[in-house]
Amino acid sequence: MDRSTRLVFAALGLAVAMLFAVAVGTAAGYLARRDGASMPSALTRASTAFAAALTLQAVLAATMTAWLT
């Protein structure tokens, strides 16, 4: 695989990871509001879930990189 193909796959992977994290954050905020949480509390829960999803994806990416190299 040449360099440009790897770059395209990396960009697509990052885009999918961001979409997944946004979906997780949105779902967490929605569920918090449905549970009766105030708007600031729901935003806090959503941002925490978003950050946790990105952190988990970064750890998985680092692990996969270490395995494959």
Do residues 54 and 21 lie in contact, with contact meaning Cβ atoms separated by under 8 Å?
yes
pLDDT in tens, 24-36: 999 999 999 999 9
Could you state, in order of their start, the residue ranges of all structural domains in the chain? 3-68
- pLDDT over 80 at 1, yes or no: no
Q: How far is CA 58 from CA 1, 35, 40, 49, 54, in A?
A: 23, 30, 27, 14, 6
pLDDT at 68: 77
- Identify the pLDDT of residue 18: 95
pLDDT in tens, 34-67: 999 999 999 999 999 999 999 999 999 899 888 8
pTM: 0.86
The pLDDT confidence band at residue 2, using thresholds 50, 70 and 90, is confident
